[in-house]
Amino acid sequence: MTTAANGIVSTKTAALREAVDAVALHARFAAIVGAKNAIVAEAQLRTYECDGLLGYRVRPEIVVLPASTDEVAACVRLARELAMPVVPRGAGTGLSGGSLPSEGCVVIGLSRMRKILDVDLPNRVARVQPGVINLDITRAIGPDGYYYAPDPSSQSVCTIGGNIAENSGGAHCLKYGFTVNHVLGVTLVTPDGDVVEIGSAAGEPDVLGYDLVGVVVGSEGMTGIVTEALVRILRAPEKTQTLFATFPSTDEAGDAVSRIIGSGIVPAAIEMCDQLAIEAIVAATGVDWPLDVGALLLMDVDGVEADVDDTAARAREHLRAAGALDVRAPKDDAERQLAWKGRKAAFAAMGRISPNYHVQDGVIPRKDIAPVLREIAALGANAGLRIANVFHAGDGNLHPLVLYDARIPGQEHAAEEVAGEILRVCLRYGGSVTGEHGVGHDKACYLGEQFDEDDLETMQAIRTTFDPDQRFNPGKMFPTPRLCGDKPGTYVPHTAETSGEAGRG
């Protein structure tokens, strides 16, 4: 770098030095993953500057796309040598900023590691690489009558590695449990670059020792990089009966959920949509749901045939007793698939009724669905914002979608404030600031409202056992004064956004 006589640093020289550094950095990582899988070109880096939480963007220093555990380990060791932060990344569909890059980081993308390595039907397990798309497991084993149970609505695009890091849920996790209940073992590249096997190699949970798989699942990319996973696969149920019920308001729908679960019935799924969500889903998908109702429940009861018929009949009675306007079953499988397609497309459907939206994710006791939804509606009304609700009602896992128009000054900020207040309502009812989308960058500030100092210190102690330097996914999950209230990068709208062609939600 040269300094001219007038004291001004030559920007040309500084830029050249940066370019040389970038070239050197590229060369070091390219030696591991190959030149085209080490990305430093600015235009390409943009793809990786955010995840599904589009309001926060940071350009990574470099993105690498390894193809094997050995390549991941070598990249991690090089990052440690260069003291670079590491941010693991799957498909980037996370909604809490979990794979948001940190300043000066290397993003390690697992998208090239997408092989189903082994399927062992007698033991009901499959060994998969982390970049395998969730739904691809079921697509592979479905013809044999098996499936992989955790079904996030993003399952046609999100990866098993991301699911493990977030302990992802989905509509049918009510009966079958979250990702943590379906991962029996992992191969993990630790922040030191060591490769360790955790959990069971045989297919059943280890009963001896600490549950380290349980520590890795849900650790949001902070304990290392999962490069293989042994997942449980299930026999597809003999029969599934879908029920569709409409209600005058979310009060009666919430009551129905409590009655059904309280009676001892465990449906595979109970999902709720309020009137605004129904409007968006109908507009986007063409399902023939009525628009003049206050709420609907979409429910699956599954199991062996005789049991399903009896359980579905009892569930119908509870739905009617709670005040359902109509209870019906799809006439055929095509209608059933369409109903579930409508539910799973709900977030994207919001684009039909609002230019932008903020997805919130909190948990409450399911018996409190009705009062909490009333409080959420009041928060929206006070802020002059509409809020749609579409969520995993059986789990009490709310997803309020705070609608706003980013072109109106102040609305985005107001939406974020309301989304934060919603979490406080969840906590007041004894719930949690996240059900399945993780804490990530988005909710780090709220973790301290759910846990006290001792709890947070204990969590940090576990994290630093894996990563003493806290170089893996820094700035996520744990509240720090620096990040609380600060955006890590200046948001620059994409041209498609300013032209009105695309939204940010």
Ligand X SMILES: Cc1cc2nc3c(=O)[nH]c(=O)nc-3n(C[C@H](O)[C@H](O)[C@H](O)COP(=O)(O)OP(=O)(O)OC[C@H]3O[C@@H](n4cnc5c(N)ncnc54)[C@H](O)[C@@H]3O)c2cc1C
Please report, as ranges, the residues that interact with ligand X according to CB under 6 A.
51-52, 87-95, 98-99, 110, 130, 152-154, 158-159, 161-163, 165-166, 168-170, 220-221, 225-226, 347-348, 436-437, 473
Instruction: Between 340 and 347, name the residue whose CB sits nearer to ligand X.
Output: 347
- CA quadruple 388, 392, 396, 399: dihedral positive or negative? negative
CB of 14 to ligand X, least distance (A): 32
Q: How far is the CB of 152 from ligand X (least distance, A)?
A: 3
Nearest residue to the partner ligand X, using Cβ: 162
Select 95 or 322, whichever has its Cβ closest to ligand X: 95
Token pair listed for 329: 């079953």
Question: How remote is the C-alpha of 186 from its chain's centroid?
Answer: 19
Report in angstroms how near the CB of residue 85 gets to ligand X at its nearest: 11
- Report the distance separating Cα 108 and Cα 62, nearest Å: 9
Residues 6+ apart with CB under 8 A from 21: none
Nearer to ligand X, 178 or 327 (CB): 178
The kind and range of the H/E element at 423 are helix 411-428
Sequence-distant (6+) residues with CB within 8 A of 172 are 149, 150, 151, 268, 269, 300
Q: Residue 247 has which token pair?
A: 């209600």
Which residue lies nearer to ligand X by CB, 76 or 158?
A: 158
In sequence order, the 6+-apart residues with CB closer than 8 A to the CB of 370 are: 250, 251, 254, 255
Q: How far is CA 264 from the centre of its chain?
A: 29
Judge residue 335's burial from the number of C-beta atoms within 10 Å of its C-beta, 0-12 exposed, 13-18 middle, 19 or more buried: middle
Q: What is the DSSP letter of 434?
A: -
Question: Please, what is the minimum distance in Å from the beta carbon of residue 154 to ligand X?
Answer: 3
CB of 55 to ligand X, least distance (A): 14
CB nearer to ligand X: pick between 274 and 361: 361
64 and 107 Cβ atoms separated by less than 8 Å: yes
Give 225 or 308: the residue with its C-beta nearer to ligand X. 225
Q: Are strands 106-109 and 86-89 parallel, antiparallel or unpaired?
A: parallel
Least distance in Å: CB of 4 to ligand X? 43
Q: Which is nearer to ligand X, 89 or 316 (CB)?
A: 89
Please identify, using beta-carbon distances, which residue of 220 and 368 lies nearer to ligand X: 220
Which residue, 55 or 152, is less far from ligand X as judged by CB?
Answer: 152
Q: Judged by CB, which is closer to ligand X: 283, or 348?
A: 348
- Beta-strand (E) ranges in 200-294? 225-232, 234-235, 239-247, 269-274
For ligand X, the closer of residues 88 and 185 by Cβ is: 88
Bridge partners (DSSP) of residue 482 are none
Please state the closest distance from residue 306 (CB atom) to ligand X, in A: 31
Chain-centre distance of CA 101, in angstroms?
16
Q: 3-state secondary structure string, 15-58?
A: HHHHHHHHHHHHHHHHHHHCHHHEECCHHHHHHHCCCCCCCCCC
Nearest distance from C-beta of residue 20 to ligand X, angstroms: 30
Closest by CA to 229, choosing from 135, 134, 144, is: 134
* Shortest Å, Cβ 89 to ligand X: 4
CB 165 → ligand X: shortest distance, Å? 3
Alpha-carbon separation of residue 386 from 267, 314, 383, 442, 500 (angstroms): 30, 35, 9, 21, 20
Least separation in angstroms between CB 437 and ligand X: 5
